[in-house]
Structure 1
Amino acid sequence: MEKADFYDFFRKIPKAELHLHIEAVISFDSINKFYMRKFPGIGKDEAAREIKKLFTYDNLDGFIQAYLQIQEMYESVADFDLIFSDLKDYIVRNGISYVEVFAAPSAFVKKGFDFSAMVESYSRNVRKVKEETGVDVRILIDVSRTFGAENAEKNLQLLLANRIPEIIGIGLGGSESKGPCRDFGAVFEKARDNGLFTVAHAGEDVDAFSIWDAIDILKVSRVGHGVTAFQDEALMKELVRRGIALESCPMSNVFTKRYVKSLSEHPLRKFFDEGIMVTLNTDDPLFFGVELVDEYWNAYSQMGFSAAELKEIVKNSFRASFLDEGRKARFCAAVDEAWG
């Protein structure tokens, strides 16, 4: 298919996205509004130039610092309404039928935001997205490795005290090198004991041992990124045996340049051929300049995937989700119908 035909076709195919940070779906226009509010004397063009400087990182830690700087521009829980509005537009543009997003409360709680008010905003906005698009959004709270295990435990306790149906689990994001998975075993065990699903970023910025820790110590259902699984044949076989899915985000990995510097170097093709349940995701659309249909096009045009293979990856996006088995089957059937 030519690019225009591909985009037209794939926007019509039901898809899920499972590795998406809600704060990074925000649009450039929304950040511009925040920046001009923070610096009321600045002009729109100057604000745009200053914001552009935030996007000059070339590694994961630099990206995280830019991410935190943008979070600093939020002034109240009311600002989350703008994020969810941008999420709704993103869902519609990409033909997404179901999404599980990470929400990272740590920086906001440190700013003095009330967690219960944040949860109320999440719930209200998720319902609004559903009413306006028909799409279910479910939230995974990123307990964050960046601020240490004590902070992660605090985030879990806040979540358990403010349970809502829209929040279905926890994730571990942030600086992988500074917060190894093994430090968070107790937090993840407690989350599972309370009926929460668990996932973790691993093998994004650290070698394959981090993925072993995620699946053996944290006992996660999915691994975010998992790039370094290519280093360990036994690990890849174990991921297949346990049916643990990888939330692959190719452009994010290329952008941070830790293990791959081009799409052609990315191990997604190897993982698929090994039989690992791979899914395609964007991670942080604004920060890496990529949306979900772009990731499918990149896999088709630069990573050697056929359309039929991408159909399997689309279905994997539902199979690897935390939907019940009945809904997974119905979505996969919808993919078959739309494909025809």
Structure 2
Amino acid sequence: MNKSEFKTFLSAVPKAELHLHLEAVITISGIKKLYKNKFGKEMTKEEQKELFSYNDLNGFIQSFLKIQGMYSSVNDFKIVFDELEKYLVKNGITYTEVFFAPTAFLKMGFKYEDMVKIFHEKISKIKEKRGITVKLLMDVSRTFGCENAMKNYNLLKEFPCEDIIGIGLGGAEAKGPAKEYAPVYEQALKDGFKAVAHAGEDVGPESIWDSINFLHAQRIGHGITAIQDEKLMEEIKKTKLPIEICITSNTFTKKIVQKAKDHPVRAFYDKGLPVNINTDDPVFFKTTLLDEFWICHKDLNFTMDEIKDLVKNSFRQSFMSEADKKKAVKSVDDAWQI
């Protein structure tokens, strides 16, 4: 099966994506719209090139923040959700849990309650029009410190939104040790929210340990440095703690992985660790969920049966109800016609 045949086949199979940043599903076309709304002129090719000129995680984060800075008002989120809808349909995604990071927008003067009102309206329309379920995870963000993270969480509580099911911890991992955010996570879990954390992406296995021991994270984003710690891998296997794998993203940062074929997801899977496949930031890394599965098949030698298992994992390791997980897994079996 060549790449075109593979992607055509897999696009028709229901899938879930669990590690996806809202602002990063926007296309170049969408970015140009934001830019024109903000500055009243067209974005130049030089500006576009500069925006995507980065070669490490911190450089990428700065570009991420630049795009956030192009928003003129909360209404610009409508553009982003329209782009999200297109992305989900193109990749055959029927369920997703998407990170949104409010800090930059709050600093720009946007009202949180106005943002989530638009989120709910657009998510409801996607469900009605496409039958796709979108859930959100607030990235409380390690970039701006624990006090700011707690402020973000308090907004989540003050203005409830049925679409927001939990919190995550993104941002520059080396500058924001996970254990510093324990108070936010303790409160969120106590209040019944789900909790995930980026860890082991740019820092050693100690970051994953801290996310387990101090944050009690229910999934680990990236988690690739677990390969450096046999005891940690055994712990992850024993506790069935899911790892959200983002191959192209990890290959780009080159902190741990230089080439896709060297990504530890193959070793994780073979050892029985629970893993699921994601894009992280499609526009920044020029990838799609279909592309990520192709990399698994072509570069990491996952058989089609194993690809099918990985697709099911994304549903099984989601925060869907158990009944919905069973229906989703069955939908994969029903669509898998080889």
Q: State the TM-score bracket (shorter-chain normalisation).
A: over 0.9
CA drift at 1:39:
3.3
Aligned residue in 2 for 1:53: 50
Q: 2:245 aligns with which of 240, 243, 248?
A: 248
Q: What letter matches 1:323 in structure 2?
A: M
Residues 1:303 and 2:293 are matched in the alignment: no
Aligned residue in 2 for 1:140: 137
Q: 1:314 aligns with which of 286, 297, 311?
A: 311
CA drift at 1:40:
2.8
Aligned residue in 1 for 2:34: 34
Residues 1:280 and 2:271 are matched in the alignment: no
With normalisation by structure 2, the TM-score equals 0.98
CA drift at 1:131:
1.2
Matches of 1:64 and 1:109, distance apart in 2: 17
Q: 1:231 aligns with which of 224, 228, 231?
A: 228
The 3-state SS of whatever aligns with 1:146 is coil
The 3-state SS of whatever aligns with 1:283 is coil
Aligned residue in 2 for 1:17: 17
CA drift at 1:214:
0.6
C-alpha contact (below 8 Å) 1:32/1:48 kept by paired residues: no
CA offsets 1:34-70 (integer angstroms, 9 cap, x no match): 22333334x45xx233122111111111100000011
CA drift at 1:262:
0.8
C-alpha contact (below 8 Å) 2:37/2:72 kept by paired residues: no
C-alpha contact (below 8 Å) 1:204/1:228 kept by paired residues: yes
CA drift at 1:235:
0.4
C-alpha contact (below 8 Å) 1:185/1:217 kept by paired residues: yes
Indicate the RMSD between aligned Cα atoms, in angstroms. Answer: 0.9
With normalisation by structure 1, the TM-score equals 0.98
CA offsets 1:160-185 (integer angstroms, 9 cap, x no match): 00111100000000010000101001
Aligned residue in 2 for 1:124: 121
Runs of 4+ in 1 over 6 A off after TM superposition: none
Matches of 2:15 and 2:234, distance apart in 1: 27
Q: 1:97 aligns with which of 94, 104, 108?
A: 94
Matches of 1:39 and 1:163, distance apart in 2: 33
CA drift at 1:190:
0.1
Q: What letter matches 1:114 in structure 2?
A: K
Aligned residue in 2 for 1:175: 172
The 3-state SS of whatever aligns with 1:177 is helix
Q: What letter matches 1:80 in structure 2?
A: F
Q: What letter matches 1:209 in structure 2?
A: E
Any gaps of 5 or more consecutive residues in structure 1? none
C-alpha contact (below 8 Å) 2:95/2:133 kept by paired residues: yes
CA drift at 1:288:
0.3
C-alpha contact (below 8 Å) 2:38/2:71 kept by paired residues: no
Matches of 1:27 and 1:238, distance apart in 2: 39
Matches of 1:326 and 1:95, distance apart in 2: 21
Q: Give the aligned length.
A: 337
Aligned residue in 2 for 1:330: 327
Matches of 2:225 and 2:285, distance apart in 1: 20
The 3-state SS of whatever aligns with 2:174 is coil
CA offsets 1:81-125 (integer angstroms, 9 cap, x no match): 000000000011000010000010000001110001111111111
Q: What letter matches 1:107 in structure 2?
A: A
Aligned residue in 1 for 2:7: 7
Q: What letter matches 2:20 in structure 1?
A: L
CA drift at 1:23:
0.6
Q: 2:157 aligns with which of 149, 153, 160?
A: 160
Matches of 1:51 and 1:128, distance apart in 2: 31
CA offsets 1:110-163 (integer angstroms, 9 cap, x no match): 111000111111111110111111000000000000000000000000000011
CA drift at 1:264:
1.0
The 3-state SS of whatever aligns with 2:220 is strand
